[in-house]
């Protein structure tokens, strides 16, 4: 080869490609210099520029110099609590805040949720969990704009994503979804079968930072008890008879996304212990393996039975309930939101028409009959009834011939509200009404001024309160809706016990939290002039 010949490819020096410039900025606030340095190195490896601060005053200076996309925040700092940064509304609107602490607890996570934290990590930080958090960085303002868009659709079209209804109970559900979706905390959805628990879980996922990752739904009651551990956590080849290959469980397949555990009370108790460990440590083992797997999964659970009753019946571990019930959402039965029935029926009818290629409509008598029915199967039953009526209708107008009706003599009495479990102080829902002063110090007369007055009967019908030898009685006219009858009973009982809420809740057989929720609904109704 001539001296002038160009060098071969093999002899050329290999130059390392320059890493792409960092497009996002992270601020680490931690008084432990070694921990901050190590975390900064990990974050920088994920294509972030990084700044560190040892205390709150330095953190505030760094935020002014270079507003961060994400703040990894320690709770305990020399000059105060990391929670103090949440008072900066400009920071919370622009930057995602994630707690990184060695002192994590259910109480601190709830407090952080109230203030606007997106998630929290426990020291020592697992690299995969950190990678997951960094990959999902989204400005809070972007999530808020999306929620505002969905809220506007409720007024215009009557739906919030895939959830349909304009009634007050459903608007409360939308409000709760809006508050919790952008966080990483666990959610416990309760409600009767057919009320739409999976649709709520899917909506929470679709509004979350995990929306680009999988959403997997598991019915814990539909899997054989002998296979459920393998299905949820996976197994290694040869771990049991018939395990001829490695199997990825739901936790592994939902990595980075959301795992919806429906009918959680049907999960075997021994498996509930392992699920609790996953929620506490973020790690799990495949069946037959000794290698720890890291779980970057948001868990949403659901049950159609009251959780506290499940605990008392030995179907649900109490410690698991408190881990799952960080943010409870209670879905109302369809009978308690009868005003949504026409909207839902028209929505389902439109779906069937589009699928079948022929549009049909309801006659007024059909809508009247749908509203009058009690719907023990809730929204699922309504959807099935609409599909059947569409098929049986011989013309483009669906009359009431093929629609269900209650058995003769059925009285639509108010069903008792579903009692939610008693919760720890840290688990009080974000929207629970807070009245001035400690509960024990409030005078009944002073508190009564803060509550809506006892309403008269539905649709102008008077509701009579009669005194008997034993106790007063409420007489509800036939035709009163379930929601109005329930309201009359609650308010009459509250007046009977001189606004004493603990005694009222005990007499009604509901939790204090449920009573507070009902009273807030009634106060909102009164404020709207309804």
Instruction: Tell me the per-residue pLDDT of 382-391, one tens digit each, with 9 for 90 and over.
Output: 999 999 999 9
**Residue of 318, 386, 299, 307 whose CA lies nearest to 349:** 386
Predicted pLDDT at 511: 72
User: What's the chain's length in residues?
Assistant: 530
For residues 505-518, give the mean pLDDT.
Answer: 77
CATH for the 142-330 domain, from 3.40.50.300, 3.40.1190.20, 3.30.1490.20, 1.10.357.10 = 3.40.50.300
**Where in the chain is CATH 3.40.50.2300?**
24-137
How many Å separate Cα 130 from the centre of its chain?
A: 23
CATH number, span 442-527: 1.10.10.60
For the 334-398 domain, the top CATH level (class) is mainly alpha
Cis peptide before 124 (omega within 30 of 0): yes
Question: In the block, which residue shows the tokens 């309201």?
Answer: 487
Cβ neighbours of residue 518 closer than 8 Å, sequence gap 6 or more: 417, 486, 487, 490
The most confident of the ranges 157-161, 223-227, 242-246 is: 157-161
H/E stretch holding 81 reads strand 80-81
| 253 token code pair | 């397949």
Confidence category of residue 142, pLDDT binned at 50, 70, 90: confident
Average pLDDT over residues 478-487: 80
Q: Closest Cα to residue 300, out of 419, 164, 203, 432?
A: 203
3-state secondary structure of 24: strand
CA Rg value for the chain: 28
Q: How many CB atoms lie within 10 A of CB 397?
A: 11
Where in the sequence of the chain do the CATH 3.40.50.300 domains occur?
142-330
How does DSSP classify residue 30?
-
CATH 1.10.10.60 in the chain is located at 442-527
Span of 145-154, 405-414, 482-491 with lowest mean pLDDT: 405-414
Give the pLDDT confidence score for residue 192 in this predicted structure.
95
Which residue reads 């079968």 in tokens? 193
CATH number of 24-137: 3.40.50.2300
Q: What integer pLDDT is reported at residue 226 of this predicted model?
A: 85
Parts of the chain belonging to CATH 1.10.8.60: 334-398
pLDDT score of 16 more than 60: no
Q: How far apart are the first and last CA of the chain?
A: 96
Instruction: Match 């868009």 to its residue by tokens.
Output: 149
Backbone angles phi, psi at 425, to 5 degrees: -55, -35
Tokens representing residue 436 in the block: 């001035």
Residue 486 confidence (pLDDT): 85
b/e sequence 193-223, b meaning 16+ C-beta within 10 Å: ebbbbbbbbbbbbbbbbbbebebbbbebeeb
Instruction: Dig out the tokens for 74 from the structure.
Output: 């320690």
* Residue the block writes with tokens 């404020």: 527
Which structure tokens are listed for 122? Answer: 């426990």
Q: What is the pTM of this model?
A: 0.69
The average pLDDT across 111-119 equals 75
Residue 140 tokens read as 């809070």
- The mean pLDDT value of the chain amounts to 81
């Amino acid at each position: 080869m001539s001296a002038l010949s160009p060098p071969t490819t093999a002899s050329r020096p290999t130059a390392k490609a320059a890493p792409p410039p960092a497009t996002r900025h992270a601020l680490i606030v931690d008084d432990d210099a070694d921990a901050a340095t190590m975390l900064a190195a990990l974050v920088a490896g994920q294509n972030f520029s990084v700044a560190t601060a040892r205390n709150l005053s330095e953190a505030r200076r760094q935020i002014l110099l270079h507003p961060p996309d994400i703040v990894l925040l320690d709770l305990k700092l020399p000059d105060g609590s990391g929670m103090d940064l949440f008072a900066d509304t400009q920071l919370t609107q622009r930057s995602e805040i994630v707690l990184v602490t060695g002192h994590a607890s259910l109480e601190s996570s709830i407090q952080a949720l109230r203030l606007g934290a997106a998630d929290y990590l426990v020291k020592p930080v697992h690299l995969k969990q950190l990678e997951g958090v960094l990959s999902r960085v989204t400005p809070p303002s972007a999530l808020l704009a999306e929620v505002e868009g969905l809220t506007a659709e409720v007024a215009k079209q009557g739906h919030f994503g895939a959830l349909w209804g304009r009634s007050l109970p459903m608007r409360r559900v939308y409000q709760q979804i809006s508050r919790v979706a952008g966080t990483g905390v666990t959610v416990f959805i309760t409600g009767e079968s057919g009320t739409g628990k999976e649709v709520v879980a899917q909506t929470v996922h679709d509004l979350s930072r995990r929306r680009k990752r999988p959403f997997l739904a598991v019915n814990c009651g539909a899997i054989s008890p002998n296979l459920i551990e393998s299905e949820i956590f996976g197994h290694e080849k040869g771990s049991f008879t018939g395990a001829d290959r490695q199997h990825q469980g739901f936790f592994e397949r939902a990595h980075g996304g959301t795992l919806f555990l429906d009918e959680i009370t049907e999960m075997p108790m021994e498996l509930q212990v392992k699920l609790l460990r996953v929620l506490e440590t973020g790690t799990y083992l495949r069946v037959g393996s000794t290698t720890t797997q890291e779980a970057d999964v948001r868990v949403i659970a659901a049950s159609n039975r009251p959780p506290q009753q499940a605990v008392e019946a030995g179907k649900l571990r109490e410690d698991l309930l408190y881990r799952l019930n960080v943010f409870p959402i209670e879905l109302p039965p369809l009978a308690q939101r009868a005003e949504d029935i026409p909207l839902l029926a028209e929505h389902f009818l439109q779906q069937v028409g589009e699928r079948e290629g022929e549009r049909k409509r309801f006659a007024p008598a059909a809508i009247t009959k749908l509203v009058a029915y009690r719907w023990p199967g809730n929204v699922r039953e309504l959807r099935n009834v609409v599909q059947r009526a569409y098929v049986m209708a011989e013309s483009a107008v669906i009359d009431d011939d093929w629609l269900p009706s209650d058995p003769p003599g059925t009285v639509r009495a108010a069903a008792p509200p579903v009692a939610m479990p008693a919760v720890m102080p840290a688990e009080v829902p974000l929207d629970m009404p807070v009245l001035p002063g400690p509960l024990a110090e409030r005078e009944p007369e002073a508190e009564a001024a803060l509550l809506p007055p006892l309403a008269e009967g539905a649709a102008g019908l008077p509701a009579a309160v009669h005194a008997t030898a034993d106790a007063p009685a409420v007489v509800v006219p036939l035709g009163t809706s379930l929601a109005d009858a329930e309201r009359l009973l609650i308010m009459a009982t509250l007046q009977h016990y001189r606004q004493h809420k603990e005694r009222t809740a005990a007499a009604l057989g509901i939790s204090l939290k449920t009573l507070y929720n009902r009273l807030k609904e009634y106060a909102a109704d009164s404020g709207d002039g309804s």
